[in-house]
Amino acid sequence: MVGGSPLRNERNGRRAVRMSGDGGRKSSSGGFTVGRSGGDASLRGWTTQMPDGRLILRRSVLIRCLAVPVAVVGAIWMALLALQMLDPLTSGFDRSDDAIFIVLLSIPTVWAVNVLRRRTVLSEYGVEMRRLLFTERRPWASVLSRLTLSTFDMSGPGAESGIDRTRIALVNGDLDDVIRIPGCVLGTTLVDSRKRGSAALRALLNYVDGQGWIVSDTDLVWEDPGLVRARQSHGADEIAQRSRLVFCVPAWRRIKEHLCNGGIFLIGLGVLLLAMGGQQLLFESSPLSASDRFYAVLFLILGPVSMAPPLYRIYGCFQRVIVDDKEIRAGGKSCSWPESRSGLFVVGDRIFLACAGGRGIALDGAGVTWGSFQRRQERLVARCEAIWLWGVAHGATRESGRYVPVRDESMQREREILEKGMGLAVPRRG
């Protein structure tokens, strides 16, 4: 997406200007960031600067040291129990107990392996996010400086102290979809982790800026052959005869984010409460007292209450996008057809529709699920092209040349970079 030599020359020039004598680097604002000889205090213990400038982000040293024995002991214990289950002399009752123990041991073992594997690498080529099973790479042209903080607060509203966990997250298109970056957990107990998270985020942005990795000028962005081919291979002929278009692609990654951000705990708690209440009312052989009956009914009420918030958020990830010759509807919102092809655009790995007033409506139901980030963007560009050509063929719109920028400057900047990368001629702002 990003051109080679012009951008590389800019990076090299900025790198030479910002190099300091002690091995550290200074940002354009003058703030000191991480260096080989020490670095910002907020980055110590969970970041590692490599000689080539790469910055590796992982969980703290303490957490990783704790995860090693947990993973080793858990794996060995599970293996021994599995061998015991295969013993022909083991009874069915003992096998059932061993199976339960294996399930219980798998929880801390998987957690430990996940901690040791998850990491994020910041380099000249972008952001590499390695998770338990998959690794995703995003170029800086699609990341820019759109990093934010995601805090899971387990204390009550208005509480002066409590338990919270703050993570650095990547904004994917808009603030309603943030991706928690692996290895960037800044959680503490009885202390507000937002302050440490804000300091760490500023230090990371200063470091990236000092390295000259972020694209500063859209004029240095060149056409990407993959995106250009995607516009040409739009597949509009396959949908040309349909009276309307209906897309319903679940946002599986957002579902996973909701589950990992406290959703699994709340759903598990709800299932446990329902099981306890149901067991008391339905399977208890002895007569129940009034207090036992009260608590059983209370558990049956609190169970759905605990499960409702995460299930509601997950329900929002199953969004239909309906396209007809009058309007485009998505997630209960509707917008008239854009007057230009540029009104359908891609930011991150999401499709947006530019509406009047600079609003950007996400068409998540028309997204894609599988493939690398680059491949997903190419498929989304092709889908935007197909939707637009369908609208032109059915008389819903026509090209007027009117360009509608969105109010979010970061989103608009990323939009312009991708538009230039796929060869879409758009007017310059300002």
CA distance 296 to 292: 6
Query: What tens digit of pLDDT does each residue of 378-411 get?
Result: 999 999 999 999 999 999 999 988 899 999 888 8
**Within-domain flag for 430:** no
The per-residue pLDDT for 106 is 87
The per-residue pLDDT for 45 is 84
The DSSP code sequence of 112-140 is: HHHHHH-EEEEETTEEEEE-SS-EEEE-H
Highest mean pLDDT among 11-15, 194-198, 268-272: 268-272
CA distance 344 to 346: 7
The total domain count for the chain is 4
Query: What tens digit of pLDDT does each residue of 277-300 get?
Result: 888 787 766 777 888 888 888 999
Residues 181 and 210 placed together within one structural domain of the fold? yes
Residue 111: other Cβ atoms inside 10 A:
15
Residues 66 and 185 placed together within one structural domain of the fold? no
Average pLDDT of the residues of the chain: 81
The per-residue pLDDT for 216 is 63
Residues 375 and 236 placed together within one structural domain of the fold? yes
Token representation of residue 194: 């937002």
The per-residue pLDDT for 18 is 33
Residues 238 and 327 placed together within one structural domain of the fold? yes
Residues 173 and 280 placed together within one structural domain of the fold? no
**pLDDT over 50 (residue 31):** no
pTM to 2 decimal places: 0.78
Summarize the confidence of residues 179-184 as an average pLDDT: 89
Residues 355 and 409 placed together within one structural domain of the fold? yes
Residues 295 and 378 placed together within one structural domain of the fold? no
Beta strands in 212-288 (DSSP E): 245-247
**Within-domain flag for 300:** yes
Query: What tens digit of pLDDT does each residue of 39-91 get?
Result: 577 888 889 999 988 999 999 888 999 999 999 999 999 898 888 888 776 66
Task: Give pairs for 309-318: CB < 8 Å, separation 24+.
Answer: 309/266, 310/258, 310/259, 310/262, 310/263, 310/266, 310/267, 311/267, 313/258, 313/263, 314/255, 314/258, 314/259, 314/263, 317/250, 317/251, 317/252, 317/254, 317/255, 317/258, 317/364, 318/248, 318/250, 318/251
Instruction: Give 38's pLDDT tier (boundaries 50, 70, 90).
Output: very low
Query: What tens digit of pLDDT does each residue of 344-368 get?
Result: 999 989 999 998 888 889 999 999 9
Among 201, 218, 235, the domain boundary falls at 218
* Contact status, residue 330 vs residue 361, Cβ threshold 8 Å: yes
**Within-domain flag for 53:** no
- Give exposure, 273-294, as e/b (b: 16+ Cβ within 10 Å): bbebbeebeeeeeeeeeeeeee
Residues 213 and 227 placed together within one structural domain of the fold? no
Query: What tens digit of pLDDT does each residue of 88-122 get?
Result: 766 666 677 777 788 888 889 999 999 999 999 99
- Helix 264-282 with 290-315: angle, nearest 10 deg: 150
Among 78, 99, 117, the domain boundary falls at 117
Domain that holds residue 233: 223-250+319-421
Shortest CA distance to 140 belongs to which of 152, 126, 151? 126
CA distance 138 to 261: 22
Summarize the confidence of residues 170-195 as an average pLDDT: 81
**Within-domain flag for 94:** yes
User: For residue 340, which amino acid is it?
Assistant: S
The per-residue pLDDT for 133 is 85
The per-residue pLDDT for 164 is 74
Summarize the confidence of residues 8-36 as an average pLDDT: 36
**Within-domain flag for 189:** yes
**Within-domain flag for 301:** yes
**Within-domain flag for 25:** no
Residues 133 and 212 placed together within one structural domain of the fold? yes
Among 117, 136, 152, the domain boundary falls at 117
- Give exposure, 345-370, as e/b (b: 16+ Cβ within 10 Å): bbbbbbbbbbbeeeebbbbbbbbbee
| CA distances in angstroms from 115 to 72, 111, 273, listed in the order given | 13, 6, 29
The per-residue pLDDT for 10 is 40
Residues 334 and 414 placed together within one structural domain of the fold? yes
Residues 142 and 205 placed together within one structural domain of the fold? yes
CA distance 143 to 123: 12
Residues 183 and 236 placed together within one structural domain of the fold? no
**Within-domain flag for 81:** yes
